[in-house]
Amino acid sequence: MSTFDDRETAFENKFIHDEELAFRAEARCNRLLGLWAAQLLGKSGDSADAYAREVVKADFQEAGHEDVVRKLASDLTGKADPDAIRARRAELLVEARGQVLLEG
């Protein structure tokens, strides 16, 4: 293999790795967001975990995170508006990225 081929392979591997980390961070963020919402809804234990899984699944409806925001805004009517949900999501995304990076 030439040096160029080695570099190309290295860049491809880094891209794959970065995309995998980003996906895991997004999923972790959605889980944390679901647990936060579950708390606002008065859920705990297994019920909160089940709700968090629903939130993670909601993210697969369309590209981006607005599908999750819509679900939570609907579920949290009177408790949190879409802007508050987006703000909390931004905070939790930072936390989720840190957790995923620490896990390696």
pLDDT for residue 7: 84
pLDDT for residue 1: 62
pLDDT for residue 43: 96
The pTM for the full model equals 0.85
73: number of Cβ within 10 Å = 19
Q: Which domains does the chain carry?
A: 3-103 (1.10.790.20)
**Count of CA atoms in the C-beta half-sphere (13 A) of 35:** 10
The token duo for 76 is 């949290």
User: Consecutive sets of 10 residues in the chain, 104 residues long: mean pLDDT of each?
Assistant: 79 87 94 97 96 93 89 95 96 95 84
**Count of CA atoms in the C-beta half-sphere (13 A) of 93:** 10
